[in-house]
Amino acid sequence: MRITLGMMNGRIKSNLMGSAEEMLHAQDVASTGKRIQRPSDDIPGAGRVMSLNTALAEIAQFSRNTEVATTQLNSASTALGTVVARMQEVRKLALQGTNPSLTPEGRTSISVQLKGISEELASVANTQTLGRYIFSGSLSNVKPFVETTTGNEPYNYAGDQGQLTIQISPGNYATTTVNGDSVFNMNGAAAAGAPDIFTMLKNLSELVEAGDTAGISSSLTGVDANLNNVIASQAQIGARQARLSTTKENMLDAKVSTENLLSKTRDADMAEAIIDLQTKQNVYQAALSTAGKVIQQTLVDYMN
């Protein structure tokens, strides 16, 4: 085969270009630390990176949802804790009220305390967290317990039966609210046979005031029924809180393993990338020095 100047130059040029291009790619990989620069570098890998990024974004969102759910459940739990404590106090006061040796001043004092508790419970029942009334169901912008002047019941329930559920992981929803009407037995269904808590307190304070010890004793069953009802709600929320923290841990595990997988798919093995870059640089150097040697001389250089 005849070898000509054009062939040599052409070959040198294409070899230089080729090794320079490979060196550039190796540089990209080593300097960004990412194996996949564009989809055509690794098509299934690029698709997987996108899916994994989506999964990570989803996990982050579910974690935020879990935080919101936890905050709401915590405030409900605190509120119910207060209600339980006050109800136990009520029970104690009611028992004191049955003491026949009480002075009228003592009775009035108990009655005033009972009224105070009623007001405190009403304010607890109207607790707001993250901009919503936690005991008003779906009508979260509506103050659920409204004082009435008509009828026997001191407060009416203005909320509804709706509950807020928040998605905390794929296919997994957490209910973050308890409805006020069941906690405070507003329709008499939650603690059967007992009046709602506010009516009960109103009646109780009237009975204490009047010194009707028999009446007080008989209404104690109602106090117990209501107390048990609130404790049951509290237990329910406790169970939900436990579930949330399990979910949170699972989510953390999922996050770590997804990030691992993402890194394995997307990131370059740095040792390999740097060795690769070094190799490509050597090849380029070799191509350059070969070019220098080849171009140097022809027969012309040896002729006088």
Partner 1 sequence: MSLSFGLEVALSGLRAQQFALDVTAHNIANASTEGYRRQEAVLRPGMVINGAFSVNGPGTPKLGTGVEVVEVRRMQSSFIDGQVRTANQNVGSWDAKNQSLEQVEAIFGEPSDNGLSSVLDKFWNSWQELSASPESVPARAAVVEYGTEVSQRIGTLRSDLRNMQFNLDDQIKDDAASINRIAHEIADLNQSIGQSATGSFTPNDLMDRRDILLDELSKIVNISASGKPGSEMMLTINGKILVQGTYVNDVQVTEDSDKWSQVTWADGTSIGAKGGALQGRMETRDTIIENYIGSLDKLASGLVESVNATYSKGLTSDGQPAGNFFVAGTNGSNMSVERTLIDKPRLVVTSYTGRQGDNVLAQDIAALKDARNIDGDTANSFYIGLVSQIGSLARESKSTSSVQGLSLEQLSNQRESVSGVSLDEEMLNMIKYQKAYAACARMVTTIDEMIDVVINRLGTVGR
Residues that bind partner 1 (CB under 8 A): 1-7, 9-11, 14, 36, 38-41, 43-44, 46-47, 49-51, 53-54, 57-58, 60-62, 64-65, 68-69, 130-132, 136-142, 160, 162, 164-167, 170, 173, 177, 266, 298-300, 303
Q: How far is the CB of 274 from partner 1 (least distance, A)?
A: 23
Shortest spacing between CB 2 and partner 1, in angstroms: 5
Give residue for tokens 């405190």.
Answer: 120
Residues 73 and 176 sit within 8 Å (Cβ to Cβ): yes
Structural tokens at position 95: 């028992």
Shortest CB 17 distance to partner 1, Å? 10
Smallest distance, partner 1 to C-beta of residue 49, A: 4
Residue 204 contacts by C-beta under 8 Å, 6 or more apart in sequence? 90, 94, 97, 114, 216, 219, 223
Q: Which is nearer to partner 1, 20 or 139 (CB)?
A: 139
- The smaller minimum CB distance to partner 1, of residues 169 and 226, is found at 169
Residue type, 20: A
Token readout for 157 is 């329930």
Residue in the block written with tokens 């990024």:
53
Distance of CA 265 to the CA centre of its chain: 28
Closest contact distance (angstroms) between CB of 16 and partner 1 is: 13
Considering the complex, state which of residue 174 and residue 194 has its C-beta at the smaller distance from partner 1. 174
Query: Among residues 39 and 188, whose Cβ is nearest to partner 1?
Result: 39
CB-count burial class (<10 Å; 0-12, 13-18, 19+) for 209: middle
Give the residue among 134, 166, 132, 162 at the shortest CA–CA distance from 247.
166
Is the Cβ of residue 192 or residue 303 nearer to partner 1 in the bound state?
Answer: 303
Token pair in block for residue 161 = 């039966």
DSSP classification of residue 267: B
Smallest separation (angstroms) from partner 1 to the CB of 32: 11
Pick 100 or 131: Cβ nearer partner 1: 131
52 contacts: CB under 8 Å, gap ≥ 6: 258, 261, 262, 265
